[in-house]
Amino acid sequence: MQIWSAEIKELESLYTLIKGRFPGLEKELEQLIKFDDANVILIYSRRCLEVIVSDLCINELKRPRKTEPLKGIIDKLSHEDKVPSNIIASMEGLNSLSTFGAHPKDFDPEQVKPVLSNLAIIIKWYLKHKDSQTISKVKAEEKLTIGEIKVEEEKDESKSPFITKENNRKPKVILILLLSGILVAAAIIAYPKIFKRDTLENLRSKGKFSIAVMPFQNMTNDSSWSIYQDVIQENVINYLTSFPDELIVRQTESINNLIQSKGITNYASITPNIAKTISQKLNTDVFIYGSIQHAGTKLRVNANLIDAKTEEILKSFEIDGLYNEEIIFDITDSLRKNITDFLILSVLRKDVAPFRQCLMTTNSSEAYRYFRYGEMARENRDFPTARDWYFKALSIDSNFFYVIRRIAQTYEREGLFNIGKEWILKYYGKRDQMPIGLRLRACNNYASYFETPYERIKYSRQLVELDDQDAGSYIHLGDAYSSLNQYDKAIPEYEKSLELHNKLGLEYRDNLYYGLGYAYHETGQYRKEKKLYKKAEQAFPGDDIGIIYRQAILSLSVGKTNAADEYIKKFMAICKNSYPEASITGGVAEIYREAGILDKAEEYYRQALSLEPENPARINNLAYFLIDKDRNINEGLELVDKSLELNPENHNYLHTKGWGLYKQGKYHEALELLGKSWELKIYYDHQIYLHLEATKKAVASQNK
């Protein structure tokens, strides 16, 4: 028995109160109480808190959370007195301790207990809070209704006595009927094009929908097949029931009892309309209506997925086989899997951003489920766990290509770039099996590692030609031009992407604002840059660390030192909970360097190094700064030698030393080191390219 079993029992009791009322919270809490692993419990505790805080952000702070850190929202709820101070304390405690589940850090299992206790306290308060809101809303609606009745009575009394109510209404009624006829006609014309899509979208938006499976009708004229009417129904229901996170499945007994209560003894007499009525009584969203058919030596089992409100067929499924009873279970297995895959993917894919929908090439709900688990772990920066889930997804569907890209990314995030490159090669190697859009993206990823930005531009242009409404492709173009320092060409691409985000109502991507802001800055368009960051503040309510970083640089660049100081303080405060002090100090050094305030930049580079004196990256950062800015080339070379002692094959350190030797006029030595740096580089690096070309010219000139 786990040491936190008592806390789990309390949460199980709370789960029964939540079930059916708050689907998002129900889903996360249901997962939490299933597991015994401390890390998983901490992760799902945090996700429960995120659901509650995100809801409070919308309903109390009157805005969506988007990418704002959890702590920032909790602070605002506290500052604006939206949540009692004792609950804020529990939220802060849970938020702080639960991070140990997402990061590979040591923690004491005893720390799980206060996390669960705090979660129980928060949920109890949240339930009372939501109940009080509901009561207030009902009272307000009652007052509104009474007020509306009085207003209507006053309107009737004020009407002229010379005009009867009947005569007064008749022209309006005729006009309304005429307009209604026009609208109905238009709706009938548009119906086939829009309704099915809208119905599926509505189901996806629910996140978890209910389904009933009718008995399959024996249409073979062979009574020996009637036994399988219930068998197939039961088989499909049992299979669907094994996916409780996504589906609410009505059980066989409740369905067939309703059928019998209507006096139906022959399943062939169940029409779609009767099935709809039964489904509505069971409060289901969709139902399956199928049959067993026979033609010659062929047996066919088909099933229609039907909307329980409209009787619209959303999807049809057919499985054929030999007219032989021995094969019926194989046919049923195939049918139930096809139905389940469609249903589960319809639910799961609702969380995938539109620009990533085209990347989801799997038709396996199980593979997709594992992919989703991997995405959850990746969001929490638990890359080894994410990778494990991705491997499981790939083992089920080897053609789930995007998973291969994700595996590469997990290695990249851990600094294991060589392994990441191997997976990029595997991803690229499958390009001929991919749909055209995904193939071009694979080529683009390959170009980032093994080619130049010019190839990236070519592939991104082809993606734009394929779909000129794909906002992401314009970002790729902007990034490629920026990597070549061609900011005048990057800006129109970024601006086109921003225009599409506004036009299509897409969720904004922070890298778009970073890229466009940087391009504006490098071309001296400070007013546009400032205006862009103001828009970014609206797109990302709260404190986006990247935007604040860029605002600090801009403020320093235009002489607004007081504003810059405030941004830097905010930058450091946000980073405090997620990054070590040396990294934060190094970030401040970069701010001053980009703003051209070199004395302050050097001060912070040295301070960062003093915090981690044995870190080769910190040593190299100061070394490169001293060399590149001609501050102290000799000291820079002495420093980078220490980095190279610790990691002699690091391309960044080789680049730093090669650039230092170039500045000392030692061109042949510089050429050797810069050439090696170029060969070892992870991605295309335009700075290394420019320095290598300058060195080649110097050597050629010296040899004349």
Q: What is the C-alpha separation between 441 and 357, in angstroms, rounded?
A: 13
- Same domain membership, residue 209 and residue 121: no
Q: Is 96 exposed, middle or buried (0-12, 13-18, 19+ CB in 10 A)?
A: middle
- Specify whether 325 is located in the same domain as 218: yes
Q: What is the pLDDT of residues 298-344, one digit of tens each?
A: 899 999 999 998 888 888 999 998 888 878 888 888 898 888 878 87
Is 624 within 8 Å of 657 (Cβ atoms)? no
- Kindly report, residue by residue over 227-282, the tens digit of the pLDDT: 889 889 988 988 888 777 778 888 888 888 888 888 888 888 899 989 999 999 88
Q: How far is residue 119's CA from residue 47's CA, in Å, rounded to a whole number? A: 11
243: three-class secondary structure by DSSP: coil
Q: Say if 182 falls within a structural domain.
A: no
Q: Is 69 part of any domain?
A: yes
128 shares its domain with 77: yes
DSSP one-letter string for 50-118:
HHHHHHHHHHTSSS--TT--HHHHHHHHHHTT-S-HHHHHHHHHHHHHHHHHHTT----GGGHHHHHHH
Given 289, 323, 349, the domain boundary residue is 349
Is residue 197 a contact partner of residue 179, using CB atoms and an 8 Å limit? Answer: no
When mean pLDDT is compared across 170-179, 645-654, 687-696, the lowest value belongs to 170-179
Boundary (domain end) residue, out of 395, 422, 450: 450
The total domain count for the chain is 4
- The pLDDT tens digits of the residues spanning 108-152 come to 888 888 999 999 999 989 888 877 765 554 444 444 433 433 333
* Sequence-separated (6 or more) residues with CB below 8 Å from residue 57: 63, 64, 65, 68, 73, 77
pLDDT band for 207, please (50, 70, 90 cuts).
Answer: low
Q: Write the CA distances from 382 to 105, 418, 686, integer angstroms.
A: 11, 20, 31
pLDDT of residue 200: 60
Domain final position from 287, 316, 349: 349
pLDDT in tens, 513-548: 999 999 999 999 999 999 999 999 888 877 789 999
456-494 pLDDT tens trace: 999 999 988 888 888 889 999 999 999 999 999 999 999
Place of tokens 């060399």: 627
Could you tell me if 340 and 372 lie in one domain? no
pLDDT on residue 403? 92
For residue 202, pLDDT over 60 is answered with yes
**Pair 369, 280 in one domain:** no
CB 103 within 8 A of CB 578: no
379 in a domain, yes or no?
A: yes
Tell me whether residue 539 is in a domain. no
At residue 303, the 3 state secondary structure works out as: strand
pTM exceeding the 0.85 threshold for the entire prediction: no
Pairwise CA distance, residues 682 & 650, whole Å: 10
Residues 472, 495: Cα–Cα separation, whole Å: 12
Task: Check which CATH number belongs to the domain holding 238 and give it.
Answer: 3.40.50.10610
Looking at the fold, whether 121 and 11 belong to one and the same domain comes out as: yes
Residue 204's pLDDT band (boundaries 50, 70, 90)?
Answer: low
Span 401-411, average pLDDT: 92
703 assigned to some structural domain: yes
Q: Are 456 and 448 in contact (CB under 8 A)?
A: yes
- The residues, ordered by sequence, that sit 6+ positions from 324 with a Cβ below 8 Å of its Cβ are 299
- Residue with the bigger pLDDT between 199 and 88: it is 88
pLDDT-derived band at 164 (thresholds 50, 70, 90) equals very low
pLDDT interval class at 161 (50, 70, 90): very low
In a 3-state reduction of DSSP, which class is residue 262?
coil
**11 pLDDT exceeds 80?**
yes
In a domain, 591, yes or no: no
Answer with the residue of higher pLDDT: 461 or 181: 461
pLDDT of 104 over the 70 cut:
no
In this structure, the answer to whether residues 208 and 336 fall within a common structural domain is yes
Closest CA to 50 of 101, 117, 108, 98: 98
356 shares a domain with 324: no
Question: Cβ(532)–Cβ(520) under 8 Å?
Answer: yes
C-alpha 656/C-alpha 688 separation (Å) is 9
Nearest by Cα to 529 from 477, 471, 487, 476: 487
What the block records as the tokens of 195 is 């309704």
Cβ neighbour number for residue 675 with a 10 Å cutoff: 16
Q: Is residue 624 a contact partner of residue 656, using CB atoms and an 8 Å limit?
A: yes
Place of tokens 């409209």: 310
Pair 341, 418 in one domain: no
Least-confidence region, from 265-274, 544-553, 580-589: 265-274
Q: Within 13 A of 235's CA, how many CA atoms are on the CB side?
A: 18
Query: What pLDDT is stored for residue 226 in this prediction?
Result: 86
**Residue-level pLDDT at 598:** 97
Q: Give me 389's structure tokens.
A: 């889930």
Other beta carbons within 10 Å of 333: 14
The CATH number of the domain where 93 resides is what? 1.20.120
**Domain span including residue 90:** 5-135
| Domain shared by 282 and 375, yes or no | no
Query: Is residue 249 a contact partner of residue 211, using CB atoms and an 8 Å limit?
Result: yes
**Per-residue pLDDT at 694 exceeds 60:** yes
In a domain, 481, yes or no: no
CATH number at residue 356: 1.25.40.10
Whether 69 and 48 map to the same domain: the answer is: yes
Share of the chain above pLDDT 70, in %: 85
Q: How many CB atoms lie within 10 A of CB 393?
A: 26
pLDDT (0 to 100) of residue 7? 86
Q: Same domain for 291 and 360?
A: no
Instruction: Reply yes or no on whether the pLDDT at 658 is more than 90.
Output: yes
Any domain includes 572: no
pLDDT tops 80 at residue 349: no
Q: What is the mean pLDDT of residues 277-295?
A: 91
Residue 642: pLDDT band with limits 50, 70, 90:
very high
